[in-house]
Amino acid sequence: MHPPATVFCDFDGTVTEEDSFDAVAAAVAPELWERLKRQLFAFELTLRQAMAELAAALGPSDLDAMVAHMDRFSPRPGFVPFLDDLEHAGIPFVLVSAGLQPLVERVLAPHRPRLHALVAAQVEPAVGGGLVFHSPWSDGQELVAKARVLDRYGWGRRVVIGDSITDLGMAQVADLVFAREPLCHWLAQRDIAHHRWHDFDDVAAVLRAEGLLPPAAAAAPGSPAADAAARPAPAAG
């Protein structure tokens, strides 16, 4: 029996409260990353081009520093209860990141067995210096083409949760989209319906309203669980 939906969730700035890849890239290559990010957000560079340029400028010691820097990050509050809700409903959770797998796994290792899949870019030393970022999910525009991941793992309704430019492609082919800024801005420009969300309780509220999660269990009035269950579902954008 196939699940009624599959959740596809970004990592940086989505599972984590801060955009962790932005922070670690800025820590090891501040001037380069600032330029690349500016060009990305202006759609002057593709995601694949930006990641290739960044990789060429870094070395193994930079990667080590980036991985170590990830110790300051953790999943945002509500992430683990959200995984609980999905497991109880039989809905797979696919973590799909345009960042680097060693960085993602540094934070999510304790939760890895609960993920249906973890998709991110691989990294290796380059011959002659620098690094190489690569992925079997790449296309002409993206190092990790998230829409291709949806095609591979998506059963039932395809639910996307994201926050930025790397999530735009998968949002365009999803059935239900949850977005934070700046992704909301680009979705509005393209007339793509989406729900703004603050935390995973907001996402769960909409999934309950859509019949994809069961009603919240009864909780004592005034408790955090009761407050989350009573919170109105976020309006669609």
Sketch the domain layout of the chain as residue ranges: 5-17+75-122+134-230, 23-72
3-state class percentages of the chain: helix first, strand second, coil last, to nearest 5:
45, 15, 35
User: What are 198-233's pLDDT values in tens digits?
Assistant: 999 999 999 999 999 999 863 334 434 445 555 555
Q: Per CATH, which fold does 5-17+75-122+134-230 belong to?
A: Rossmann fold (3.40.50)
**CB contact at 8 A, 143 and 49:** no
Per-residue model confidence (pLDDT) at position 59 = 96
Supply the DSSP string of 110-144, one letter for each residue: GGGGG-SEEEEEEEEEPTTSSEEEE-TT--SS-SS
Per-residue model confidence (pLDDT) at position 1 = 76
| Residue of 126, 168, 127 lying closest to 144 (CA atoms) | 168
pLDDT tens, the chain, 237 aa long: 789 999 999 999 999 999 999 999 999 999 999 999 999 999 999 999 999 999 999 999 999 999 999 999 999 999 999 999 999 999 999 999 999 999 999 999 999 999 999 999 999 999 888 999 999 999 999 999 999 999 999 999 999 999 999 999 999 999 999 999 999 999 999 999 999 999 999 999 999 999 999 998 633 344 344 455 555 556 566
Per-residue model confidence (pLDDT) at position 227 = 53
